């Protein structure tokens, strides 16, 4: 239970410290559309905070070893959701990456 406040504090601190780097990247304050803010909010809430929350909840019932075997599947789920929800392209590189991740999970899980 002690890990949640620490993880939350790290996420908040990192977010605050990274905000000024936006100016270094674009040279001036970015003029973002509402669609861009929606994507940023989605990534912040669901893809980042949600992932950490459910990862910590999962560690209450699953061992860290099993979790580390299953964790790479998160990338495949994220890509699939981006294709379904946001019509992102799914090309040969994405498919090859997904197959390599699945192969790695299968290899590790059969060896364990």
- Whether 55 maps to a domain, the answer reads yes
Q: Is residue 52 part of a domain?
A: yes
The Cα–Cα gap between 79 and 30 comes to: 26
Q: Please name the residue ranges forming H helices in 19-72.
A: 21-26, 34-42, 51-59, 64-70
pLDDT tens for 72-84 read 888 899 899 999 9
- Is the pTM higher than 0.95? no
Does residue 101 lie within any of the structural domains?
yes
Residue 45 belongs to some domain of the structure: yes
85 vs 47, which has greater pLDDT?
85
- CB contact at 8 A, 42 and 80: no
Q: Give me the number of domains the chain comprises.
A: 1
Q: What is the pLDDT of residues 39-69, one digit of tens each?
A: 888 887 777 777 778 878 888 888 888 888 8
**Is residue 12 a part of any domain in this protein?**
no
* Predicted confidence band of residue 96 (pLDDT cuts 50, 70, 90): very high
| Cβ contacts of 40 within 8 Å, gap of 6 or more | 32
Residue 4 in any domain: the answer is no
Task: Note down the domain range covering 49.
Answer: 33-111
d(CA 107, CA 91): 24
Q: Give a yes or no: residue 107 inside a domain.
A: yes
Position 1 scores a pLDDT of 56
């Amino acid at each position: 239970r002690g890990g949640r406040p620490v993880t939350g504090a790290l996420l908040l601190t990192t977010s605050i410290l990274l905000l000024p780097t936006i100016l270094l990247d674009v040279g001036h304050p970015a003029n973002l559309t509402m669609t861009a803010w929606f994507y940023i909010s989605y990534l912040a809430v669901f893809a980042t905070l949600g992932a950490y929350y459910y990862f910590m909840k999962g560690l209450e019932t699953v061992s860290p070893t099993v979790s580390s075997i299953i964790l790479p599947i998160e990338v495949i789920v994220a890509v699939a959701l981006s294709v379904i929800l946001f019509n992102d392209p799914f090309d040969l590189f994405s498919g090859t990456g997904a197959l390599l991740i699945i192969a790695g999970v299968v290899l590790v899980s059969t060896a364990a």
